[in-house]
Amino acid sequence: MKNKISILQLLGGILVIYYIAPIFSLVFWGGNEYGRISSMGGGISSAIITSMSTSAMSVVISCMLGIPLAYFLSRDRSSLKDFVLFIVFLPLLLPPIVSGMVLLTLLGPGSIIGSLAASSGIELTQSMIGIILAQVFVISPFIVISAKVGFDSVDEKLEYASRSLGKTKIQTFWKITLPLSMKGIIAGAMLAFARAMGEFGATVMMAYYPRTMPTQIWVSFITGGIGNAFQMTMILLVSSMIVIVLIGRMGKEIGGDYASY
Amino acid sequence: MLHIKSVVKSLGNFLLGPLDLIVENEILVILGPSGSGKTTLINVISGISQLDSGEIIIGNERVSEESIENRGVSIVFQEDALFPHMTVLENIKYANSTEEDINKIVDIFGIEHILDRSVGALSGGEKNRVELARAIISMPKILLLDEPLSSLDYPVRKKLAPDLRKILKRVKIPVVYVTHDREIAWEIGDRIAIMSKGGICQIGTPEDVFKKPTTIIAAEITGESNILRMEMKEKSGNERVVGWGPYNLEIVAEQNGNEETIHVSIRPDDIILGTQGGGINWMEGEIIEKIFKGHRYAVELNIEGVEENIRVNVPLDHNEIKNLKKGREIWVHFPKKSMQIVLDN
């Protein structure tokens, strides 16, 4: 039997190749130029720790705030829902650098909130908190939108059946709605984590220090070219891939087939 | 006991009620066509939808303002609503029942062999049994069944219906069962309420509702019926003389039809065909068509001087069956007590 490639496979394949080709190109380039690649010294480990910890924290915060919002957007029948959904899309419409600018006007040292926080000893910029604030702004829409799709896919009859069996709304949410929506939520968390790890524009505006991996890569690149940024770029790629695989596995543990990827 | 008092619920252009209904310790079947408001009624009883006005009392408690979980109702929906991420046993255990209750319900429904299966591996009939078992084991004060058998194939549905009635009678929980399927209604209900356009137009035993429909919709949904337009001529006690084309027919009226023009229902099974006739309620007709219907023939006739054609069911062993051919003239009799005056709604 002949295995013919359909037009759909061909079009999808082109996109996959377009994703993977630059990465292979970079690895190939690194192999040839190995002798000229310079080490980045002590900056590597602190940038890795900063990126990993802030991305993880941003995903957790985005889930804690975004999942309830997604549930509201999925179940509410008022016109308020459409307005809120429009607002959720706003951070996706803004270029990251602009997101950083608007956050600075709200939370920067010259702002009311920024100065109030500073007087309490909390720095909202040039700190881990600043990075997390920037990342949450940029990545949380991915979680809200994916979780909403997940909640939309759960037939409300299952929730009514659960409640008619004596379970409260909250118990029904934990036992029925959440496990059955896990696929959407895990997909959102994976997208959000990947986006947080790669986030540069908003983050660099809110916190040049401590440096995240993208900030460190940028600094290395402008001071020494690709050779100088190669190591950190590879670390960013590999570490992001590992974490995404781990999130996928964790989702399967929690939600079984309803969260598998 | 369920007591529905002057309940009103509007949904866009559709209005349910004002509706009054009492369900004792019985199986009440709500029989009505699609769009008559059956599911809306289930939704307001269960608390899925809130009332516009009126009151719902379950047991001795007013529950109109209560949320679903506090009403003491269990619902089985038309489409499968088993929790797909759980096994059969996990679904049944979901209602926090005791081990003893679980064993009992598993035995009643005969589902012991499928307890460890995932929901996706069940057949339609098995899903129905599990869903009913899950609803009953929570010991609700009222069990609401929204066409639970309608998604099954006809043979499976026919097999499950009598079993379902036995089980429902055994567990002794008041049941509201909505359906558009009259055969299921006859099989399951202690009483039948006919629902149309958001209201209950007739309520009674299955036999009463079938034999003495009071509205056109009740006559049509409870079985095949000839609905004929007639003129009121004379009234005397519960006897009436009505005009149908050139004929004066005598009928026994169960209810008033005070207008000059009335509708009369007569079942195709009740009309008598004969080679000889004459006298009260006999007319001459001509056969238009004869259609084989399995256990009987449906014969369409035109009555001389009348515009409306009628349909008559003739058993296969009728002595004239071979001679009932298109174009043949034959005598037709409407028995007095088989005709019912039916109201528009």
Are B134 and B20 within one domain?
yes
More confident residue, A91 or A40: A91
Q: What does the block give as tokens for B275?
A: 């080679």
pLDDT tens sequence across B208-266? 999 889 899 999 999 889 999 999 888 888 888 999 989 999 998 776 666 788 899 99
Q: Is the pLDDT of residue A207 over 70?
A: yes
Alpha carbon B109 to its chain's center: 25
Domain boundaries along the sequence of chain A: 43-259
What's the mean pLDDT when you consider all of chain B? 90
- Check which CATH number belongs to the domain holding B262 and give it: 2.40.50.100
pLDDT tens sequence across A139-191? 999 999 999 999 999 999 999 999 999 999 999 999 999 999 998 999 899 88
Are B208 and B259 within one domain?
no
As for how many domains chain B has, the answer is: 2
Give the pLDDT score at B258.
Answer: 64
The minimal CB distance from A163 to the residues B69, B77, B83 is found for B69
Nearest residue of B to residue A176 by CA position?
A: B83
Are B289 and B154 within one domain?
no
pLDDT tens sequence across B119-157? 999 998 899 889 999 999 989 999 999 988 887 788 878
Q: What is the DSSP string of B125-178?
A: HHHHHHHHHHHHHT--SEEEEESTTTTS-HHHHHHHHHHHHHHHHHHT--EEEE
Nearest residue of B to residue A169 by CA position?
A: B69
- Using the 3D structure, point to which of B171, B200, B220 is the last residue of a domain: B220
Name the pLDDT band for B320 (thresholds 50, 70, 90). Answer: confident
Are B255 and B281 within one domain?
yes
Q: How distant, in Å, are the alpha carbons of A153, A182, B19, B152 from that of A147?
A: 10, 8, 40, 33
Beta-carbon-side half-sphere exposure of residue B310 (alpha carbons within 13 Å)? 31
Q: What is the DSSP string of A2-70?
A: --PPPHHHHHHHHHHHHHHHHHHHHHHHHHHTGGGPPP-TTHHHHHHHHHHHHHHHHHHHHHHHHHHHH
Taking contacts as CB-CB distances below 8 angstroms, the residues of chain B near A167 are 69, 94
The minimal CB distance from B83 to the residues A169, A176, A257 is found for A176
Q: Is B96 on the interface with A (CB under 8 A)?
A: yes
Can you give the residue range of the structural domain that contains B247?
Answer: 226-342
Nearest residue of B to residue A256 by CA position?
A: B85
Are B257 and B202 within one domain?
no
ipTM score for this prediction: 0.84
A43-259 architecture in CATH?
A: Orthogonal Bundle (1.10)
Q: Is the pLDDT of residue A2 over 60?
A: no
pLDDT tens sequence across B91-116? 999 987 888 889 988 988 889 999 99
Strands (E), B161-317: 175-179, 191-196, 199-204, 226-236, 239-244, 247-252, 261-266, 272-274, 282-292, 296-303, 309-315
